[in-house]
């Protein structure tokens, strides 16, 4: 049975005490702001650029990466890294063009932007959609993946793991965004260091099995022995084409997916909404550079596990009870090979990733529910203290729901793909509403409402078109979900333009935003950093295409 030694628990306990102690100190260092909604939900003016960048990464990187993305690395290879590398480029775009609009209009939540730009009806519809997706898909999957990883590593029961992770995350979340932001700095250091330790061990094992010495030689051996796992492009007819279909990685749905996630997603954007423009942009650029590193600590270990599995090293560990290969077992299997002490560090890294992501996600759930549902429809005159308390109760209730639902995800093979596919039912419509709301003054409330209502039915129609086509005597092929995202986005954009142009309200739309070109000017340092990221990405895609 897998277990942690006393030294491993000592390492983990040290991490736990540091995070909790630092969070407690941060919470009490500016106690005057703890009952103010701006301070609690946004940490307004409190986060530095490096705290914003670290918090973006710590909140984004979770068990879905360590377990789910490593599992996809095992199954399909380096191509899954497009989610990370395209995200780096996307962050630059968000910092340059989206953040100035939010900050100039003093936006606190994404539903608030929609209410200000369109109407309360559009805002409420999407606020409810977001809450459902955040709780039932994102929060639940993060908790599930973290629990199965810790169960595999430490031999602790799944139920105990889910409850323990939830309690740890609740403790941090109840302190507000300021505590989350600064504890995330520790979390991101731990998860990167711990992740690199696992990568080092995985490459060393490959080197040993290949009869060579050194981690670099292990990486070269990995490339040689799993060459089919070092390509970014899947052509139609290849095994994983439906998951990552060809040119959509660089021209289509991947960009829509990332621009929505990083630019229109409360969970992410919230970290920068309490800062000034320069600080926000610097923090987001820092996060973009960190994003380039993520495949090294999650995808490469997954590919290494694939090579070792092919040789029989991990045959039993990678096989489920039904005899089928379980790709999501790759990372936990590697962690169990770590020596005493290092295993505790990997345990701490995984916990850091899970807890930081859970805390960030639940803070956003709490923010949307409190400011966009409770204050609007339940108690319009609620005091600041009452709103903060309601936000804290929303955190607890969300975790109770996630704990109940998490065990149901055991039936999925690659949970990372489940997360991407089902969140994308909403993505194209929301992004169309946002991007036209930003940059086209004539986009109207009627158009936004039309798209808000039709996006999910359109996504479902494209998802199940092969089954539906049988009813009409034809046989359509399954459409990759990134292609589906592109098609639905295109239809949504066309609908918004058509409805807006036929709506009398579009001629002199009082809801249109005033866009000043000076808002989008960037500093020389930001421009240089952006160019460096573009050059690195160009090199990576040229090398591994």
The 10s digit of each residue's pLDDT in 409-451 is 776 555 555 666 667 788 899 999 999 998 888 889 999 999 9
- On the question of pLDDT at 483 being above 50, the answer is yes
Homologous superfamily in CATH for domain 6-27+50-407+515-544? Sodium/glucose cotransporter (1.20.1730.10)
Q: How many CB atoms lie within 10 A of CB 37?
A: 23
Return d(Cα 304, Cα 333) in angstroms, integer.
11
The overall average pLDDT reported for the chain is 81
Quickly state the pLDDT bin for 168 (edges 50, 70, 90).
confident
Identify the pLDDT of residue 33: 42
Quickly state the pLDDT bin for 534 (edges 50, 70, 90).
very high
Domain edges within the chain: 6-27+50-407+515-544
Q: Which one, of 179, 185, 188, 170, lies nearest residue 362 by Cα? A: 170
Return d(Cα 173, Cα 148) in angstroms, integer.
22
Identify the pLDDT of residue 170: 82
Identify the pLDDT of residue 278: 92
Q: What angle do CA 202, 205, 206 make, to 5 degrees?
A: 90
**What is the pLDDT averaged over residues 446-472?**
84
The alpha helices in 94-214, defined as continuous H runs, are 99-104, 110-117, 120-133, 140-154, 158-173, 177-210
Burial grade of 418 (CB within 10 A; 0-12, 13-18, 19 or more): middle
- Residue 501 CB contacts under 8 Å (≥ 6 apart), including other chains: 442
Identify the pLDDT of residue 239: 75
Q: What angle do CA 156, 362, 52 make, to 5 degrees?
A: 105
């Amino acid at each position: 049975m897998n277990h942690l030694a006393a030294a491993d628990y000592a390492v983990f306990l040290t991490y736990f005490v540091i995070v909790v102690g630092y969070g407690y100190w941060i919470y009490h260092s500016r106690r005057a702001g703890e009952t103010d909604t701006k301070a609690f939900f946004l940490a307004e003016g409190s986060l530095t650029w490096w705290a914003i960048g670290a918090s973006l990464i710590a909140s984004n990187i979770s068990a879905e990466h360590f377990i789910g993305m490593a599992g996809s690395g095992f199954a399909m290879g380096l191509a899954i890294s497009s989610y990370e590398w395209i995200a780096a480029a996307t962050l630059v775009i968000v910092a340059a063009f989206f953040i100035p609009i939010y900050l100039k209009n003093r936006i606190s939540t994404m539903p608030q932007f929609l209410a200000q730009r369109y109407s309360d009806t559009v805002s409420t519809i999407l606020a409810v959609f977001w809450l459902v997706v955040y709780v039932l898909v994102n929060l639940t999957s993060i908790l599930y993946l973290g629990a199965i990883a810790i169960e595999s590593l430490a031999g602790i029961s799944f139920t105990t793991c889910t409850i323990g992770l939830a309690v740890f995350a609740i403790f941090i979340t109840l302190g507000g965004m300021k505590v989350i932001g600064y504890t995330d700095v520790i979390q991101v250091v731990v998860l990167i260091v711990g992740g690199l330790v696992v990568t080092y061990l995985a490459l060393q094992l490959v080197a040993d099995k290949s009869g060579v010495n050194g981690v670099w030689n292990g990486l070269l051996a990995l490339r040689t022995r799993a060459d089919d796992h070092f390509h970014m492009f899947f052509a139609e007819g290849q095994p994983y084409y439906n998951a990552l279909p060809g040119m959509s990685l660089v021209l289509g749905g991947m960009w829509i997916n990332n621009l929505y996630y990083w630019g229109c997603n409360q969970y992410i954007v919230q970290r920068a909404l309490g800062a000034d423009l320069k600080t926000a942009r610097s923090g987001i650029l820092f996060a973009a550079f960190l994003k380039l590193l993520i495949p090294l600590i999650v995808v490469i270990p997954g590919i290494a596990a694939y090579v070792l599995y092919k040789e029989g090293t991990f045959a039993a560990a990678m096989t489920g009870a039904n005899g089928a290969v379980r790709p999501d077992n790759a990372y936990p299997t590697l962690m169990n090979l770590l020596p005493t002490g290092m295993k505790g560090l990997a345990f701490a890294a995984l916990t850091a990733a899970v807890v930081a992501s859970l805390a960030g996600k639940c803070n956003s759930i709490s923010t949307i529910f409190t400011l966009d549902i409770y204050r609007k429809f339940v108690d319009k005159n609620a005091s600041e203290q009452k709103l903060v308390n309601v936000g804290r109760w929303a955190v607890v209730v969300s975790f109770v729901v996630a704990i109940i639902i998490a065990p149901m995800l055991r039936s999925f093979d690659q949970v990372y793909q489940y997360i991407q596919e089902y969140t994308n039912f909403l993505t194209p419509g929301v992004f169309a509403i946002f991007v036209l709301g930003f940059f086209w003054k004539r986009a109207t409330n009627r158009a936004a409402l039309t798209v808000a209502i039709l996006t999910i039915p359109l996504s479902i129609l494209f998802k199940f078109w092969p089954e539906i086509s049988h009813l009409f005597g034809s046989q359509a092929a399954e459409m990759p979900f990134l292609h589906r995202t592109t098609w639905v986005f295109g239809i949504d954009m066309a609908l918004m333009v058509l409805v807006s142009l036929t709506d009398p309200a579009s001629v002199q739309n009082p809801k249109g935003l005033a866009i000043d070109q000076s808002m989008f000017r960037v500093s020389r340092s930001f421009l240089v950093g952006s160019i460096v990221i573009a050059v690195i990405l160009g090199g990576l895609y040229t090398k591994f295409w």
